[in-house]
């Protein structure tokens, strides 16, 4: 403080040019060098005081934080750091004393999550939905690109108007059919609970409709749209035989049902949500027998190839691609529906 008073006094005395009678003239500029040194010295002291103040303030804040933390640990301060307060921190990190807005746990065990139990009894995050066929069978569905697909094979035994789809267990009767029918693999209905039923193409083409209301058997073009969304080029999708790279693995699902091979071992296995399973098929050329469960999954399209054949897709355990070919309408394959 003494230095500041001296400085002010000097500034007042030498704010004008100073002169001394005689041969020596002393100006304010001579004094100014000394003033600069004094000012610089004062600045250092002021900066030191500021640093000390900041350090003291930081120490005070640290002590306050420690006191609040100790108070919270002892139950004396709430989550808002108010001593004697009653605010509570919920599972989603919200601190208040209003229990009506407390964070909830969803069906997947996530606090504040949006998963729910859908009509199929499955806990999901809102990407999967559920539909029901005429028989009351429930199916999960999945949105892939701009399409919504059933994520399970069809199981219905009725057309949408309530008419029964004949269940043909006799092999000779099966091979001669030119009307709609279905079979359970090995004529065992329990297989259909896991793999869905196997239908001939005449069921697909029946005007009474085999898919749930507002759904239909996909056309060949709709399958191409799905395949291209998953990575195929247009030229690949238009081809026949094995096409693509790993689109078959993406379309497959339920690894425990598939025999070990290139399909299941691919890193993209099951990623689309389509969840194709190896449901096998029912033959026409060899007496109506059942083949390939656990190895192949075959899917009808609604598009005819000619008067005796229609386009189909199939997946196999030993290839990560998708096979496209025309095949006889009397064979029994799985059906997926699309909205």
The DSSP annotation for 44-111 comes to HHHHHHHHHHHHHHHHHHHHHHHHHHHHHHTTSB-TTS-BT---EE-TTS-EES-GGG---B-TTS-B
Q: What is the pLDDT of residue 26?
A: 47
Among 39, 58, 40, smallest CA distance to 50 is for 58
Q: How far apart are CA 182 and CA 62, in angstroms?
A: 77
Q: What is the pLDDT of residue 126?
A: 57
- For residues 54-82, one letter each, b for 16 or more C-beta atoms within 10 angstroms of the residue's C-beta and e for the rest, the string is eeeeeeeeeeeeeebeebbeeeebbbebe
Where are any strands of DSSP class E within 187-318? 198-199, 241-243, 279-282, 290-293, 296-306, 309-316
**pLDDT, tens digit, 9 for 90 and up, residues 6-31:** 443 444 444 444 444 555 444 545 45
Among 254, 207, 239, smallest CA distance to 313 is for 239
Q: How far apart are CA 338 and CA 335, in angstroms?
A: 10
State the pTM of this model: 0.68
Helices first, then strands: H and E counts in the chain: 9, 15
Q: Tens digit of pLDDT per residue, the chain (339 long)?
A: 444 444 434 444 444 444 445 554 445 454 556 656 756 676 676 677 667 777 777 878 787 677 767 766 776 778 878 877 878 877 787 888 787 778 888 887 888 887 777 667 777 665 557 899 999 999 999 999 999 999 999 999 999 999 999 999 999 999 999 999 999 999 999 999 999 999 999 999 999 999 999 999 999 999 999 999 999 999 999 999 999 999 999 999 999 999 999 999 999 999 999 999 999 999 998 889 999 999 999 999 999 999 999 999 999 999 999 999 999 999 999 999 999
Residue with tokens 């009506």: 100
Q: What's the full length of the chain, in residues?
A: 339
| Mean of per-residue pLDDT scores for the chain | 86
Q: What is the pLDDT of residue 96?
A: 82
Residue with tokens 């691609």: 321
Q: What is the C-alpha end-to-end distance of the chain, expressed in Å?
A: 87
């Amino acid at each position: 403080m003494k230095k500041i008073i001296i400085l002010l006094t000097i500034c007042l005395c030498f704010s004008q040019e100073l002169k001394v009678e005689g041969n020596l003239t002393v100006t304010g500029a001579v004094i100014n060098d000394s003033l600069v040194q004094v000012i610089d010295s004062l600045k250092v002291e002021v900066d030191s005081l500021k640093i000390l103040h900041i350090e003291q303030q930081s120490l005070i804040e640290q002590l306050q934080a420690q006191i609040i933390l100790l108070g919270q640990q002892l139950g004396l301060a709430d989550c808002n750091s108010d001593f004697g307060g009653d605010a509570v921190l919920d599972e989603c990190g919200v601190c208040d004393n209003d229990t009506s807005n407390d964070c909830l746990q969803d069906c997947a065990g996530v606090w504040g999550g949006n998963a729910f139990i859908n009509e199929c009894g499955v806990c999901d995050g809102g990407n999967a939905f559920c539909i029901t066929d005429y028989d009351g069978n429930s199916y999960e569905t999945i949105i892939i690109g701009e399409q919504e697909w059933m994520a399970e094979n069809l199981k219905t035994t009725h057309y949408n108007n309530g008419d029964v789809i004949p269940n043909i267990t006799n092999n000779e009767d099966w091979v001669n059919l030119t009307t709609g029918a279905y079979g359970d693999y090995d004529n065992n209905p329990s297989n259909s609970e896991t793999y869905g039923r196997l239908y001939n193409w005449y069921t697909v083409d029946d005007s009474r409709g085999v898919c749930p209301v507002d759904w239909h058997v996909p056309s060949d073009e709709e399958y191409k749209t799905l395949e291209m969304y998953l990575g195929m080029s247009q030229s690949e999708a238009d081809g026949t035989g094995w096409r693509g790279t790993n689109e078959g693995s993406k379309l497959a699902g339920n690894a425990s049902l598939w025999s070990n091979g290139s399909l299941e071992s691919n890193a993209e296995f099951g990623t689309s949500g389509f969840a194709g399973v190896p449901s096998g098929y029912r033959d026409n050329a060899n007496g109506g027998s059942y083949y390939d469960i656990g190895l192949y999954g075959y899917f009808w399209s609604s598009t005819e190839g000619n008067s005796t054949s229609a386009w189909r897709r199939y997946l196999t355990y030993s290839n990560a691609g998708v096979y496209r070919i025309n095949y006889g309408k009397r064979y029994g394959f799985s059906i997926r529906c699309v909205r």
